[in-house]
Amino acid sequence: MTHPSAPPKNAILIGEGQWIEHIDLTGRYESAVNIDLLLRDLAPLWSMLETECVADCCGIDAFDFTPENIANAAIKLNSADVCAKIEGLQVRLAELGAGVFVSKRLNNYSDRAVFETLLRHLHSHFSALSRDA
């Protein structure tokens, strides 16, 4: 899922030369399940990471998921709390059983595997920051 090279089309940047590859959703958009209510507990996180643009304009590209920006967000957020909320979100998403998610907040349609990879990335970095605190 991650690539240490030039950005694949529609990929999510997660670090220098690191990307989560987009999975084509052709023919699956209509099956997308809205997850906005599930994202609410992490509203401060999304706001802190929305540094490149605004999601209404740029979608998922408005967010900076690099380790440096995650560390900056962790200064104002409780990393252990963020980890717990990500874990809760992961459980609730698994319970949905959907293969495609949509979020108006993130202005994004995402394959389940892509979004799960993003959540694992965030959890990994916030978990490390929590241990360092």
80 occurs within a structural domain: yes
The tally of domains found in the chain comes to: 1
Instruction: Tell which residue, 119, 19, 117, has the closest CA to residue 8.
Output: 19
pLDDT for 133 equals: 56
What pLDDT does 60 receive? 96
Supply the range of the domain harboring residue 101.
12-132
In a domain, 1, yes or no: no
Q: Could you read off the pLDDT tens digit of each residue along the chain, which spans 133 residues?
A: 555 556 788 899 999 989 999 999 999 999 999 999 999 999 999 999 999 999 999 999 999 999 999 999 999 999 999 999 999 999 999 999 999 999 999 999 999 999 999 999 999 999 998 876 5
pLDDT confidence of residue 7: 74
Contact 111, 93 (CB under 8 A): no
| 127 belongs to a structural domain | yes
Assess if residue 6 is contained within a domain: no
